Amino acid sequence: MSDAVASGLAPKVYHCGSLRYTVRGLTGLFAWMLWGSFCFTLMEAVVPAILPLKLKALEAPNWVMGLVMTTLPAVLNMTICPWVSFKSDRYRSKWGRRIPFVLGSLPFLCVSLVAMGWVDPISASLLKWLPALQRLAPATVTVALIAVFMVSFSFFNMYVTSVFYYLFNDVVPAQFLGRFFGLFRMAGTLASAGFSAFVFKYADTHMREIFTGASLLYAVGMGLMCWRVKEGEYPPPPAAPQGSRLQRLAAEVRCFGRECFSHRLYWMFYLMQAFAAVAWSVGIFQVFFYRNMGLTLDQIGKFTAVGLLAGMAAMYVAAIYVDRWHPLRITAYLALFGVLTVNYSDWIWVPVTVPALVFFWLNMGNIIVQTFSITLNQNAYVPVYMRVLPPSRYGQFCSAASVIRSVGVIIAGLLAGVFIDLVKGFCHGSDFAYRFLFVWIWPLAVVYAVFTLLSYREWKRLGGDEHYQAPAPWSPDGYEDMSDKAVPVAVHAKWLVVALHLFTAAFGLFLVSLLVFLWLFQQRGMQQAFWWHALVFLPAASLVLAGWLWQVRGVVRDARARAAGADTRYGIPHHGVIMVMGIQTLVTLPLLWLRTGWTLRLGMEREVIWFGVAAVIALAANLLVLHILRVLEREPAQAPGSASISPT
């Protein structure tokens, strides 16, 4: 043994398969991987942000936008992603099994990206060289070229997105994966925020330069990452099925279907992910909603950047709680809070129009207030896959979820555009139609929340926090042990009561605010607003507060019964997300005061009344959320085990 090793001075070595890293080597690995993440995220941010504006300028129908931006990429995702994932798992080369797919697709992806930026001169040249095309309108040819280039871009981008995230698991030591994912998301968020703040405002005027610059940055950044990051040695791939090519393909498809669609938990999990994507398939039209509200591209970019930077600041703390509270529980709770208290709220902008600057600052305030809950939900997105799906078939199950999600997005991509076009007809062609996006989002978000809650209940039935076993038809006993390493944080009765009384405080302050508003309305001579608040909003808010206190009393009673070993009427909700949402509800009150103050100053009495309606509905929604959570947390009849509750 050398003197350095004997004295404990030898550098510490970390392992990932056959790979070995010192602290210096690990730092270099992180630096190159994060640089690749930055370039990759920036490249991917350009297309969905700018291309809808270009299609809108060409007067493409909304259904065409949905087809180009959503449906066509989803078709490729449903077919290319599973195939690339399957082949990558079994590929062996001196460059590894992931990097060849990233590097091989790089030149084609970059050319497709540049072509989209230069679509106008390419279209003009085609019209000049091919007289047969001159029978078509120039805009029609340009839109068709955008669709072709989008298909090409999406095809080669699937090679990257299918294997890029698997590369982390192959080269990053297991004990650093959590920290790496946090840094990875921070690098991506920094890229998106920089694009939103400094580049997006030039989307209308400098499309060529933006697409060309993003392509060059991606080529250099990802090229350097592929050169500097080394994959290790892998075990030999599993034996391929025997027979003809068609027989082998049929055998693989049967195995895939039998394993990935064998249990209702997986079906509910896939549908939960699918309806989340379907609900937000109208996201490409969000920029037109903001513009109809009077915002400029510069303002849209600025509040988007602020939201991303605020989320990045909250990211590390949120990542800690994802492990402590379990990502599926976080997803389920936030889905319920979101669908009942947030996702429907844009209805207010149908009857209400405020000055653009007022809308800008109200939107900015909402983004900041909701930053932590949004970041918490985003941080749970990848870990929920890891904590639910069986590790031995992880890539396979991820691709199965991708297939189901893509089917939904393919349909939604077409129907969402048709929906907007129909609403535009109802609005006599006006862009006011984009204010009705909530009519699409909210019902689908309800379905998403239902499947999320069903997934959570089934997860609890299969063992929950401490004893969950993933259904596995390939295993002799039908289950695969997950053996989560994170120690679950049990429900803590004291913190649960504190979390609930954060809402109580918010409701009480809301009632006090209503009394102050009544005095202000009287001073301003707003009689309709005065009587609405006095005869409707104040009694309704008082009833909600009384109902809330009754629910809290029931939670405390059940917690005491559970601690004494007695039966409970309902389950005990976990305190974590409730604490987050209680704080969020409290800090929303200043926005209520600002909103009311601005509308009072502008003499907008009708808008004051509508804002009061929205506030009372949101207040009552929290009461419904708590009751549903109590029902949700009832112990399943056949649960293998359950987490304990601390009575202190």
pLDDT tens digit sequence for 149-207: 988 998 888 888 777 877 776 787 755 665 677 677 778 878 887 888 788 888 888 88
What is the number of other CB atoms lying within 10 angstroms of the CB of residue 586? 15
The per-residue pLDDT of the chain, averaged, comes to 84
Average confidence (pLDDT) over 213-240: 84
Superfamily (CATH) of domain 258-489: MFS general substrate transporter like domains (1.20.1250.20)
Provide the residue ranges of all domains of the chain, joining segments of one domain with +. Answer: 23-231, 258-489, 492-646
Average confidence (pLDDT) over 348-371: 90
**How confident is the model at residue 483, as a pLDDT?**
56
590: part of which helix (H) or strand (E)?
helix 575-601
pLDDT band with cut points at 50, 70 and 90 for residue 239: low
pLDDT at 450 > cutoff 90: yes
Give SS3 for 14.
Answer: strand
Please state, in angstroms and rounded to a whole number, the distance separating the CA atoms of residues 68 and 53. Answer: 13
pLDDT band with cut points at 50, 70 and 90 for residue 506: very high
**What do you get for the CA distance between the two ends of the chain, in Å?**
53
**How confident is the model at residue 367, as a pLDDT?**
87
**How confident is the model at residue 641, as a pLDDT?**
37
Give SS3 for 469.
Answer: strand
Inter-residue contact 70 to 217 (CB < 8 Å): no
Question: What confidence tens digit (pLDDT) does each residue in 453-505 have?
Answer: 999 999 988 888 778 888 988 788 888 877 545 556 788 888 999 999 999 99
Inter-residue contact 53 to 200 (CB < 8 Å): no
Inter-residue contact 577 to 337 (CB < 8 Å): yes
Question: What confidence tens digit (pLDDT) does each residue in 314-343 have?
Answer: 877 887 787 778 889 999 999 999 998 876
DSSP secondary structure, 382-424, as one string: HHHHHHHS-GGGHHHHHHHHHHHHHHHHHHHHHHHHHHHHHHH
Q: What is the pTM of this model?
A: 0.77
* 23-231 and 258-489 in the same fold: yes
Inter-residue contact 471 to 541 (CB < 8 Å): no
Please state, in angstroms and rounded to a whole number, the distance separating the CA atoms of residues 578 and 619. Answer: 14
User: Check: CATH 1.20.1250.20 for 23-231?
Assistant: yes
